[in-house]
Amino acid sequence: RKEVEQDPGPFNVPEGATVAFNCTYSNSASQSFFWYRQDCRKEPKLLMSVYSSGNEDGRFTAQLNRASQYISLLIRDSKLSDSATYLCVAHTGTASKLTFGTGTRLQVTL
């Protein structure tokens, strides 16, 4: 079983739609969580950190449920520029080692 699991998609949504991605992690010792965004053939870039209290950055909302070992990302009012792969990421241990999910591909269309 993979440490971080995501639905690979693709999710095809029209512009303006709201879309939600889910992710589960298996290592209960994981301490911190992130969403990274990766455009086609580019490097991953940090989108946002994920906190138990939930956090919002503009149209993006991330949520962590430690009891269920579940992380979510909600994107409201999708834009064409949101088309990318969204990587769910867990940090475990003392070294700065990140465990990435396979990624969920989002395609926003006109």
Q: Write out the residues near other proteins by the rule CB under 8 A.
A: 4, 8, 31-32, 34, 42-46, 87, 91, 93-103
- Looking at the Cβ atoms of 95 and 110, the one nearer to other proteins is 95
| C-beta atoms surrounding 71 within 10 Å | 26
C-beta of 23: minimal distance to other proteins in Å?
11
Which residue number, 13 or 98, has a Cβ lying nearer to other proteins? 98
> 67: Cβ–Cβ under 8 A, 6 or more apart, which residues?
none
> CB of 14: closest distance to other proteins in angstroms?
25
20 vs 46, which CB is nearer to other proteins?
46
Burial class (CB in 10 A: 0-12, 13-18, 19+), 3: middle
- Shortest Å, Cβ 84 to other proteins: 13
Per-residue CA distances from 55 to 7, 65, 100, 108 (Å): 22, 12, 20, 23
